[in-house]
Amino acid sequence: IFSSTAIARYISRMSRHVGLYGANILEGGMIDSWLEFCTHELEVPLSTWVLPVMGAMTEVPEATAAAKEDVKRALTVLDSHLLHNTYMVGNQITLADIAVCCALTDGMRLVFDGSFRKPYGNLMRWFDLCTMQPEFVSVLGTQTLYGGGGAAKADKKEAAPKKEAAPK
């Protein structure tokens, strides 16, 4: 098994009693649908927007502008779904919640300012619910939302101070 989603599905199915893959076959299928949505509709455009901010790739302004619109569409779908649902599928956190929440963390931390987040109240309620769970905090830490003022800069390790050359 070699993709992160395939590995996550495998692990979730191994311990059915935990409920990460839903309570029944239908919920398992719904979780699969949200995992595909997360990969194709959210992670791809979000990476195009966030990776340049992290210094991991060069920004292409036209691609970033298109990615922002694609992310808005994906967040609108999520927000609409969460209007009548506490979790992505069923009545507890599932693999769908974990995948979507983790996919959103860099955007929330680095580029989604308050005005960008404002139309997505249901999504924000759900994101807060997920990220306050001890299991999320133990892996992701306490989430700090981006406050605005230009794209945040991702934390970079500081270079070790250079040693001065010994006098000759």
Query: How far, in whole angstroms, is CA 48 from its chain's centroid?
Result: 13
At 45 the pLDDT is 98
165: tokens are: 């050359």
pTM: 0.86
88: tokens are: 């992505």
**DSSP state for residue 111 in the 8-state scheme:** T
User: Per residue of the chain (168 residues), what is the pLDDT tens digit?
Assistant: 999 999 999 999 998 788 999 999 999 999 999 999 999 999 999 999 999 999 999 999 999 999 999 999 999 999 999 999 999 999 999 999 999 999 999 999 999 999 999 999 999 999 999 999 999 999 999 999 998 765 555 544 444 444 455 555
Ranges of H-type helices in 57-140: 61-82, 95-110, 114-117, 121-131, 134-140
At 157 the pLDDT is 40
Domains annotated on the chain, with CATH: 29-87+97-140 (1.20.1050.10)
**Cβ–Cβ < 8 Å for 94, 87:** yes
- Element housing 149 (H / E): none
